[in-house]
Amino acid sequence: MQTHNLGYPRIGSRRELKKASEQYWAGKLSAEQLMTTGKEIRLFNWRLQKDAGIDLIPVGDFSFYDQVLDTSLMVGAIPTRYHTLMQEKQLKDVDLLFAMARGYQKDGFDITAMEMTKWFDTNYHYIVAEFVANQTFSLFSNKLVNEVREAKEAGIPAKPVLLGPVSYLLLGKEKEPGFHRLELIKRLLPVYLEVLKKLDDAGVYYVQLDEPCLALDLTEAERQVFVKTYREIKAKFPDLHIILASYFECYGNNLSTVLELPVQILHLDLVRCPSQLDDILVNASFVNSATRLSLGVVDGRNIWKNDFQQSVHLINKAVAKIGRERILIAPSCSLLHSPCDLDLESDEKVLTPEMKQWMSFANQKIREVVTLKQLTSGEPGAATDKAWRENVAATNSRRTSALIHKVVVKQRVAAIAAGDARRTHEFAERKLRQRELLKLPAFPTTTIGSFPQTPEVRNVRARLKKGEISPAEYDAFVEKETEAAIRWQESIGIDVLVHGEFERNDMVEYFGEQLDGFVFTSNGWVQSYGSRCVKPPVIFGDVSRPRPMTVRWSGYAQSLTKKWVKGMLTGPVTILQWSFVRNDQPRSETCAQIALAIRDEVVDLEKAGIRVIQIDEPAIREGLPLRKENWKEYLDWAVRAFRISASGVEDATQVHTHMCYSEFNDIIDSIADMDADVITIECSRSQMELLEAFAEFKYPNEIGPGVYDIHSPRVPSKMEMVALMEKARAVVPADQLWVNPDCGLKTRAWPETKAALVAMVEAAKELREAVPAGAR
């Protein structure tokens, strides 16, 4: 029996990669220093896993931005708009990587970034590969091979990890009509074979190929691409041990195809789908083969301690059927989605010992994997026995703790009636009352909520936490920043203002800190995209709102101006999806509890004079189960939760929602059923392609398609935004359109923010001149 890991967090236990990358972008760190930071993180991660007792250690899971983008560079899939930049600037590989991820706007160049979207049903974002009909591939980056050599020199038992060729194509996007991206496999596969040859020459024995698209609904034609691809790999490298890894779901209808693939090791996510183990163990052909199983029994996506009793049962079931020598123990998926190290949580005021004993981060999960091997492979010992007893005690403690269950909360959820999830009247009537009250022009302008969180803002918040300034001093600072933001928005002519959210650390954490049933960590950071890291709250128990959360700052901002100020809230599904969620009750139940808490806040905002309220739900799409057969159940409770949160106000109060980096075509009816008065969506990177779903559906409510990409420092021109809105006007009536950025501006700097928003307001003015009077 062996142990292995599918991937380790790349950000560093103290977010060293984030800090180094941002310093490099700011010109405060050299490329050599950035490379050194990357190498230090890799070596630290490898040695940690080796010292813990992991037999096969992943290499290639580290990236300066994103593993899918690394794959595009490896195979030379570099969009043509970057070619001149490459030739004239002779960029280092890392600079090209950053230009493709973030855009490039200097030295006379103005190049847009590649599209970004969610990685399956997680909150991680990947850079979408772009393909054209005459796409060519060639080996461009030797990053993986170089890192394997680096690991071997350090004495690490390296197991290279790379995104499999079929999933790489499926996760990409055709940038022109007339072909399907899977048709490119014949051109792509030779590059993969070249990489595998280099790995083989380097003395590699195991290679992990991630094919997460095997967890999706696939056509028979798509399945056959997998079969042909892996047969060719096997024919070229018969002695290379391929670990085929899929995760986040069962193989489902793809299982028979998967069992045909000529791979030596098959990974199973037994956290998301424990039942698939039985499906495989009853397959006589598999049982009688030599194929080994990687049992993903340790949750790679949540922070709860493994239940050893449950995992040992699953492992022993497999051992009884096929023997220990055909078993590998592993996490369910890459630990990219897990914080680094629970040992860094030393502040008992933040995380009490009782709660801490229930948790496990990446470092601890690695050790759980090793302990499970010891428990099931006849390696008893005092340390193993102690670990077993402690695990059983912690598991029992969590089941019975009085901290978790609140009768009043459960009773309120049980009493939710159908009317609690409906506004008083339909949108057509609400629209009239809202326009009478709000009196906004055609193409009204607004932003999505947050303004730049400058070093000064973060520093003042940190000083408050350290007790270096008083709450009154902190409030005075936030008041000053809020007033400055209101005055500046007034000065450039934005129609619906925001208060800027200077008091908020994170759009989920801020609310979790004020809700019962949540607890927080000091260093529980995970990567969202690039250098963007988030510290998700932990939902450990029943959720309720003890007091108003946002009324103080929204009310203050509204008192400063005669223009309307939006109240800014995070919706129940997003709070759920972007938290580490308790796994002892259905997610739908927890979401309903959060929805009632947000509903109470919405009602209080309206009472305070806030008549435009935004309830952000960027995570609705990412919460979808990977298989369509399970969509309806999820969408029913998710949409209901949003409607519960939004339906306690009068018709004249306008409810907005915001969604980002999502494909909407196949869930557009559910989005319409949310019944938000205004929805703002990311559209700029896709050049308004995402708006087509709303147009084809004839979406009845109002829409704000984002006109510039806030995830890039690039500042678009007024005419660029006008052109995007003209595309929007071509498919959506002007009467329904708003003008806004793609997302919140928290991560941007003020100079680029101001330049872009001034251009956005000017674009809206030009659009109004082209619209007949009274169009709104």
Say if residues 268 and 252 touch (Cβ distance below 8 Å): no
Burial of 697 (0-12, 13-18, 19+ CB in 10 A): middle
C-alpha of 576 from chain center: 13
Q: Which pair of tokens denotes residue 120? A: 């399956």
Distant-in-sequence contacts of 277-282, Cβ < 8 A, 24+ apart: 277/314, 277/317, 277/318, 278/317, 279/250, 279/255, 280/255, 281/317, 281/318, 281/321, 281/322
Q: Which pair of tokens denotes residue 70? A: 């690394």
- Please name the residue ranges forming H helices in 560-689: 572-577, 587-607, 631-646, 668-674
Secondary structure letter of residue 375 according to DSSP: H
- Indicate the helix (H) or strand (E) that contains 296: strand 292-298
Burial of 422 (0-12, 13-18, 19+ CB in 10 A): middle
The sign of the CA dihedral 480, 481, 482, 486 is positive
Please give, one letter per residue, the 3-state secondary structure of 42-91: HHHHHHHHHHHCCCEEEECCCCCCCHHHHHHHHCCCCCHHHHHHHHHHCC
For this structure, is 711 an active site residue? yes
What three-state secondary structure class fits 527?
strand
Neighbours of 71 (CB within 10 A): 28
Say if residues 555 and 610 touch (Cβ distance below 8 Å): yes
Q: Which of 4, 125, 656, 711 is catalytic?
A: 711
| CA triple 440-442-445, angle to 5 deg | 70
Cα atoms in the Cβ-side hemisphere of radius 13 Å centred on 146? 10
Catalytic residues: 711
